[in-house]
Structure 1
Amino acid sequence: MSIPKETRQILEGLSLDSDFLSSDSSLSDIPNDFDREAEPLLDPTHDSSTKSIELLSPPTTSPPSTPLKQTNLLWPETPRISKPKLPKVSPYFPALLDDPESCLPFPPVDAPLFGLIQEQLAHDPFRLLIATIFLNRTRGGVALPVLFKVFARYPTTDAMATADRTELVSMIHCLGFQNQRARKCISIAQIWQTNPPVKNKRYRKLHYPRKLDGRDVGPFECTDDEDHRVAWEIAHLPGVGAYSLDSWRIFCRDELRGLATDWKGSGATTDGFVPEWKSVLPQDKELRAYLTWMWLKEGWIWDRHTGDLTPASEKMMKAAQKGGVAHEEDGNWILETSPVRKAPNGFQVD
């Protein structure tokens, strides 16, 4: 598939090759019954698991005969957790994208951007949420060109809200689950028209970000910022799952609330301001890699299970300043840097 002009422009703006789009996804906001494509309706508030926007596929060549030096980007001996089971998927879905050893480029910590599409859409939260729907369990090389075509056809929220569903389904057919994706996009746009996310209006999301969160908020209740119960400004939108919420919190929430002009804390309006991204513990592996990178920028090793921080060693920071390719093992990101020999106990040594 040729890459559309809009895609090339974004890649050129990030100084990235077209190979950056050859990606897989591992987790999904698509609920378990999304494989029942023939059903006429789905509950638009159906809860969902998480999804990944993965922008590079793992290498297919055999590993080099000389092992690579590996720098653990999380503190050693992070406790293992059981891997969540993927939902059943339609036989018509393009591919089963459960990749236990994914890898991706890890930019130097002084780079301005990591390379996620969310960084480009951070100031447009509506489009960011639409992007998370398109990238659910779908290779970026397939999803992103289609996404940009849809943005061109429906350039505003109003245009998406009045979209002909048959036409939209036809445009996104190659992604799989096209009927459900189209319904999500149109429904989100319609609710956005009448009840857009705003500061000081929050809604419950059951069991997000932790189990039992949201149970003390009524299904149709709207809370304000003086209410300390867990609720979120976009949780009333249909089909918004944990991955979408994590992405929005990291890249959009501070700006919506008027606390800063971007997700990095620029233009913070209060003393001691802490950006929202520092409190997110995503399950998506690319968001975990991104937060690992963001914390390393500040000299910390971040534990993705607890959020605990440990000062990064000088050796770690030197590796992070060079960047490279990282792969995930048991939830930890390992930065491959240079050839080394292995000690008898299996640990990497200089």
Structure 2
Amino acid sequence: MPTYEEIQAAPKVVLHDHLDGGLRPATVHELATAIGHELPADDPESLGQWFHEAATSGSLERYLETFVHTIAVMQSAENLTRVAREFAEDLVADGVVYAEVRWAPENHLAGGLTLDGAVAAVAAGFAEVEAGGRIVVRQLLTAMRQFARAREIAELAVFWRDKGVAGFDIAGPEKGFPPTRFLDAFEYLAGENLRFTIHAGEGFGLPSIWEAVHPCGADRLGHGVRIVDDITVSADGSVELGRLASYVRDRRIPLELCPTSNVQTGAVGSIGKHPFGLLASLGFRVTINTDNRLMSDTSMTQETFLLAEAFGYDWADLERFSVNAMKSAFLPYDERVEIIHKIKDGYAGLRG
């Protein structure tokens, strides 16, 4: 099995990574101090520990409180640009060569920013790091399920396409807020030929996945881990896929799996029990993701290493997962192929 250090050097792709869940603790502390926002810890190290402990506490209230503090310091163009720049720098240091970073512009208007101004600020931060040629970063604009701005955010994503925005997403509580509630936004996106992913099959089960796939037409499933509920593994080891699971696999609909986050939220019991291993063995289009690096105290290297350790993956497996993710990216075909060649060259060099 590749070592942690070898995996860190490997070219990786992340498709499910939240901007407001990936700040540096020192940055949160510095920016909060500057604006007078009260934090639950007095220094960056303690603050980082608090974020992780709150996210793993088993309390949804404490988990959601973590985002109150990160979003609070992301209400100006200057701060958004800094957070985006540091976010991308940390990805480069982690060996990520392509990233789609999702965030909800509607959560960042308290300081007087417009939706356009917020997107422009994030684009500026990513562009500074992209100029170095080591990573390509694209935004996914997210609408929050508990609010009613999905169509507006969808239109914003279409306006910013080809200017740093690659697609659209909805996030927030699945239960009580089915994706069909925003069907007009998805129909609009389909009419504009813009691709989108939907958070589904994390906090809620198969009905959430079915709605995301069928009436809404999602290109990818954000998490999608609960698709395993439609798979039966018998005592003799034989496996039977239900109709929905078969459809997702046969249509090659990518699953944006986030192992550590899934354990934190109680979707699965442990990394060793994560359905990733089963889904990968059955030929699902699985991808490895971090979700919220600050809250989960993780990285793409960490997530990949944990899966390799749990399921005995070798270089060929890890290359396949990276290529899976790049094939699934919301980037033009020729650009995807170019990065896939770089990924294959990188893994060839690591294998010697």
TM-score (norm 1): 0.29
Q: Which has the higher helix share?
A: 2
Whose Rg is larger? 1
Q: Which has the higher strand share?
A: 2
Report 1 or 2 for greater relative contact order, CA contacts < 8 Å, sequence distance ≥ 6.
1
